[in-house]
């Protein structure tokens, strides 16, 4: 029988890659036959973590070449493999809102915690399976990435103890220091094209009948990114979405600005209580797309 594929969302981030690797390992240790794969190559931040913990990037797939799959870090079809409807989902580990309908019974472990890696840390404990140090390092990296070093409002009381324990297993002496290096590795944007910038961490959503594309990029200097605004806007327009919001997040000061292109400027302004100036919206204190960008849009539209 073919292996069950374990994978995260399109435009993979560190949590998606690390959690696929960790979940696959856990499943194999508990009597399953799985392979961790990814819907894309690792971004610079994830590659930093993979290099640091001497782990190969998972094989890239665009559709599942098996009958059974396990989803991590996503559950919406729009963020999954092209042939999701043709395969059986046997399990989901996720921390996003649910937009999933199942035709067969399946394992679902969903908790509103900071990262899927956090959820998996407790799953390992529950199953009494030891976490190998390299995988622990990747899981620690995933928690750091998704919670912006425990500073994002998505952070819960479960994330810090998991991060501390995983850092210990991985031999990370100072996780703040490692975490800053990891996050900074993802902010070297100079070599990336405008298209890559807006697509690198973009997700599609249907919000109030609008086809929304929401991209996000981490930086240590928002103005530096905005110096490329005209190129960024041209890239956003060329993708042809009804509404495109590109969120630029300052990981050091936990603030964002967003470039918006679409025909719902007034609704966007009231959703965030902020005026658009030259297509740019000021989003003080906003760092989380999931918790601080999508919900106000859903409420307003």
Selected range binding Zn ion among 143-151, 188-196, 239-247, 270-278, rule: CB under 5 A: 143-151
Name 35's Cβ contacts closer than 8 Å, sequence gap at least 6: 3, 4, 5, 6, 24, 59
> What is the rounded distance in angstroms from the CA atom of residue 155 to the CA atom of residue 160?
8
Judged by CB under 5 A, the number of residues near Zn ion is 6
**C-beta of 71 vs 236, nearer to Zn ion:** 71
Q: Hunting for tokens 């990336």 — which residue is that? A: 192
Backbone φ, ψ for residue 249 (5° rounding): -110, 125
Q: Pick out residues in 244-263 that bind Zn ion (CB under 5 A).
A: none
Question: Closest separation between CB of residue 9 and Zn ion, Å?
Answer: 6
Integer Rg of the chain from CA: 19
Nearer to Zn ion, 45 or 73 (CB): 73
Which residue of this chain has its Cβ atom nearest to Zn ion in the complex?
A: 15
Q: Stretches 11-19, 210-218, 225-233, 276-284: which one binds Zn ion (CB under 5 A)?
A: 11-19
Q: Which is nearer to Zn ion, 131 or 280 (CB)?
A: 131
Nearest to 91 by CA among 110, 77, 78: 110
- The pairing of strands 210-219 and 255-261 is unpaired
146 near Zn ion (CB under 5 A): yes
Q: Rounded to 5 degrees, what angle do the CA atoms 208, 213, 217 make?
A: 135
Phi, psi of 151 (to 5 degrees): -100, -15
Q: Smaller CB distance to Zn ion: residue 34 or 216?
A: 216
Among 13, 35, 94, 201, binds Zn ion (CB under 5 A): 13
9 near 73, Cβ under 8 Å?
Answer: yes
* Residue selected from 35, 45, 73, 123 as contacting Zn ion according to rule CB under 5 A: 73
In the list 16, 75, 145, 147, the residue contacting Zn ion (rule: CB under 5 A) is 16
Q: Which stretch binds Zn ion (CB under 5 A): 34-42, 65-73, 233-241, 273-281?
A: 65-73
User: Which residues lie across from 199 on neighbouring strands?
Assistant: none
Is residue 152 at the binding interface for Zn ion, with CB under 5 A as the rule? no
Q: Are 169 and 131 in contact (CB under 8 A)?
A: yes
15 binds Zn ion (CB under 5 A): yes
Binding interface with Zn ion (CB under 5 A): 13, 15-16, 73, 115, 146
């Amino acid at each position: 029988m073919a292996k069950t594929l374990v994978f995260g969302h399109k435009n993979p981030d560190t949590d998606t890659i690390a959690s696929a690797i960790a979940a696959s390992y856990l499943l194999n240790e508990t009597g399953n036959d799985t392979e961790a794969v990814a819907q894309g190559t690792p971004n610079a931040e994830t590659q930093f973590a993979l290099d640091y913990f001497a782990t190969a990037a998972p094989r890239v797939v665009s559709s599942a070449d098996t009958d059974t799959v396990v989803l991590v870090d996503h559950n919406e079809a729009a963020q999954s493999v092209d042939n999701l409807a043709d395969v059986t989902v046997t399990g989901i580990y996720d921390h996003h809102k649910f937009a999933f309908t199942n035709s067969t019974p399946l394992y679902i472990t969903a908790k509103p915690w900071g990262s899927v890696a956090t959820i998996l840390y407790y799953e390992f404990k529950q199953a009494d399976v030891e976490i190998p140090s390299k995988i622990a390092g990747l899981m620690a990296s995933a928690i750091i990435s998704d919670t912006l070093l425990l500073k994002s409002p998505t952070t819960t009381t479960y994330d810090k103890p998991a991060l501390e324990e995983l850092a210990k297993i991985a031999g990370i002496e100072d996780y703040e220091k490692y975490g800053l290096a990891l996050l900074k590795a993802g902010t070297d944007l100079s070599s990336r094209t405008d298209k890559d910038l807006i697509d690198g961490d973009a997700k599609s959503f249907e919000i109030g009948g609008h086809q929304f594309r929401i991209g996000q990029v981490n930086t240590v200097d928002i103005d530096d990114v905005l110096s490329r605004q005209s190129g960024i806007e041209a890239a956003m327009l060329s993708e042809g979405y009804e509404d495109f919001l590109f969120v630029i997040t300052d990981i050091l000061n936990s603030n964002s600005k967003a470039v918006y292109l679409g025909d719902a400027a007034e609704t966007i302004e009231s959703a965030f209580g902020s005026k658009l100036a030259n297509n740019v919206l000021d989003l003080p204190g906003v760092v989380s797309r999931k918790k601080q960008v999508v919900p106000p849009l859903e409420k307003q539209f």
